[in-house]
């Protein structure tokens, strides 16, 4: 099993952190391939909850080396804060964390522009972490990469060129104060001192390790429906969380990929704006939010909640190549007498064959539901699949039937031991 990709199958927040932490025990390397500190991966070990934004969730397995790949946009301030947080719990990342020299840096003006754009028009509901503006610079080829930290002259020249442009934007478009060149240069030179020994050619490292027979878990952030190409554009993030992103975001060839697991929440959530066909705005949505503690791990924003959407999952499975699901938060549904599942979309009296790509159809379609009985029984201490209540097993079986994908793991709580492996 050389490379096993873990993808978020819906709009993110499916519980990837927990599953990656769990699976890490059996691999050598865990590598993050896109996104930045917009992600919030929650891992609960014993009574302690850890929230990671950049460092792969494999960091809690002692024998695992963690890699931040070239596809990630790195905010050094957020990274150092995270390293410090782990240190405060007695964990040392020395020798266990590597950062790609090709990864792009998030700069102070990225965060500022992200927030200003949201305030003055875009209304995507971003996390404000500077992700979009950093990827804009990457694709306009003006971005500053981790490798630039290693040469003071190059770093200065690049920051200056960027700042000349960004200060004009800040002043002329947004009426804001200009940022000071020297203080940014100083700040980033200081970052370099602190992360210098983590910087390397991670693509070379990963390919060499794979050639030696080592195993890699590729960890995606966000989810397929937030993918810049395949998601509900423009209400998406600026990278490719889908499985294809793992190859470009890590610099490894597709021939190494042997397994793709979709992390799937037993219902649906989304943070930020944009279409959400099965959203529940009334009491049931409130119950899901309350019982599922559906608040953003990065921004604390309440997540929008709704029933499981099989149309969305079929689409996600197709673009990701998902062959097995890890179904999370099944325990949250224990509170409902009846549970609805969206089995299809109707638009203008006709059933749609595929997930629509435009906002208008997504906003106007009518989800078709079937309702199944709930189990009204706590699942949180169940250890074996056969011990789940019959209605819970029927729910899982129905999701498998509708999506055509077997469920391999069922999660019934945030702790490591609340994970049930199901034979397929």
Active site residues: 13, 41
Task: Kindly give, in sequence order, each residue whose CB lies less than 8 Å from that of residue 170, ignoring residues fewer than 6 positions away.
Answer: 109, 112, 113, 116, 176, 177, 178, 179
342, 310 contact by CB (below 8 A): yes
Q: Which single residue is written with the structure tokens 């490591």?
A: 416
Kindly tell me which residue out of 5, 6, 13, 71 binds ligand IMP, with binding defined by CB under 6 A.
Answer: 13
Q: How is the chain split among helix, strand and coil, in percent rounded to 5?
A: 40, 20, 40
**Shortest distance, CB of residue 369 to ligand IMP, whole angstroms?**
24
Maximum distance among all Cα pairs of the chain, rounded to whole angstroms: 66
Q: How far apart are CA 379 and CA 6, in angstroms?
A: 24
**Segment contacting ligand IMP by CB under 6 A, of 115-123, 127-135, 212-220, 390-398:** 127-135
**Shortest distance, CB of residue 207 to ligand IMP, whole angstroms?**
28
Nearer to ligand IMP, 24 or 237 (CB): 237
**Segment contacting ligand IMP by CB under 6 A, of 74-82, 118-126, 151-159, 342-350:** 118-126
SS3 304: strand
**Shortest distance, CB of residue 116 to ligand IMP, whole angstroms?**
13
SS3 249: helix
In the 8-state DSSP scheme, what is residue 177?
P
Residue nearest to ligand IMP (CB): 272
For 340, other C-beta atoms within 10 Å of its C-beta total 18
* Dihedral of alpha carbons 268, 310, 328, 379, sign: positive
Q: How far apart are CA 323 and CA 387, in angstroms?
A: 25
* Dihedral of alpha carbons 67, 57, 238, 181, sign: negative
* Site membership for ligand IMP, residue 240 (CB under 6 A): no
Which H or E run contains 225? none
Tell me the per-residue interface mask from 250 to 279 with ligand IMP, x by CB under 6 A, - otherwise.
---------------------xx-------
Kindly tell me which residue out of 97, 107, 131, 264 binds ligand IMP, with binding defined by CB under 6 A.
Answer: 131
Kindly tell me which residue out of 125, 302, 374, 389 binds ligand IMP, with binding defined by CB under 6 A.
Answer: 125
In the 8-state DSSP scheme, what is residue 172?
I
Tell me the per-residue interface mask from 211 to 230 with ligand IMP, x by CB under 6 A, - otherwise.
----------xx---x----
Strand pairing partners for 290?
Answer: none
**Segment contacting ligand IMP by CB under 6 A, of 162-170, 233-241, 305-313, 322-330:** 233-241
* Site membership for ligand IMP, residue 124 (CB under 6 A): yes
Kindly tell me which residue out of 19, 39, 327, 407 binds ligand IMP, with binding defined by CB under 6 A.
Answer: 39
- Which residues, 41 to 80, sit near ligand IMP by CB under 6 A? none
Kindly tell me which residue out of 126, 232, 242, 243 binds ligand IMP, with binding defined by CB under 6 A.
Answer: 126
Q: How many residues bind ligand IMP (CB under 6 A)?
A: 20
307, 342 contact by CB (below 8 A): yes
Q: What residues make contact with ligand IMP under the rule CB under 6 A?
A: 12-13, 38-40, 124-127, 129, 131-132, 221-222, 226, 235, 237-238, 271-272
């Amino acid at each position: 099993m050389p490379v096993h990709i873990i993808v978020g199958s819906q709009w993110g927040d499916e519980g990837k952190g927990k599953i990656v932490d769990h699976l890490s025990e059996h691999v050598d390397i865990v590598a993050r391939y896109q996104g930045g500190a917009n992600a919030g991966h929650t891992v609960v070990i014993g009574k302690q909850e850890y929230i990671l934004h950049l460092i792969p969730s494999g960091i809690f397995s002692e024998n695992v080396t963690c890699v931040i790949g070239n596809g990630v946009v790195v905010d050094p301030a957020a990274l150092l804060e995270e390293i410090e947080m782990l240190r405060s719990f007695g964990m040392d990342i020395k020798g266990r964390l590597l950062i790609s020299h090709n990864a792009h840096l998030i700069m102070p003006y990225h965060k500022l522009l992200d927030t200003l754009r949201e305030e003055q028009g875009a209304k995507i509901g971003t996390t404000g972490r500077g992700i979009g503006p950093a990827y804009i610079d990457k694709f306009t080829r003006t971005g500053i990469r981790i490798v630039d930290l290693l040469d003071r002259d190059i770093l200065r020249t690049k920051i200056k060129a960027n700042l000349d442009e960004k200060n004009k934007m800040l002043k002329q478009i947004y009426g804001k104060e200009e940022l000071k060149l020297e203080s940014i240069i100083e700040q980033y030179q200081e970052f370099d001192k602190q992360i210098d020994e983590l910087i390397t050619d991670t693509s070379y490292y990963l390919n060499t390790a794979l050639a030696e027979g080592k195993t890699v878990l590729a960890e995606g952030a966000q989810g397929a429906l937030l993918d810049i190409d395949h998601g509900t554009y423009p209400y998406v993030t600026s990278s490719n969380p889908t499985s294809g992103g793992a190859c470009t975001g890590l610099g490894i060839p597709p021939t190494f990929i042997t397994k793709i697991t979709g992390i799937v929440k037993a219902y649906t959530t989304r943070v930020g704006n944009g279409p959400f066909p099965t959203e529940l705005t009334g009491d049931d949505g409130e119950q899901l939010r309350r019982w599922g503690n559906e608040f953003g791990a990065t921004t604390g924003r309440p997540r929008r909640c709704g029933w499981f959407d099989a149309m969305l999952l079929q689409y996600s499975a197709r673009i990701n190549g998902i062959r097995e699901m890890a179904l999370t938060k099944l325990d949250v549904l224990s509170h409902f007498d009846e549970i609805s599942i969206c089995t299809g979309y109707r638009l203008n009296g006709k059933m749609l064959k595929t997930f629509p790509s435009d906002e208008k159809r997504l906003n106007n379609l009518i989800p078709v539901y079937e309702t199944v009985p709930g189990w009204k029984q706590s699942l949180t201490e169940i250890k074996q699949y056969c011990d789940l209540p019959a209605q819970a097993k029927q729910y899982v079986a129905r999701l498998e039937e509708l999506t055509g994908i077997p469920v391999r793991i069922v999660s019934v709580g945030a702790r490591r031991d609340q994970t049930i492996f199901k034979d397929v």
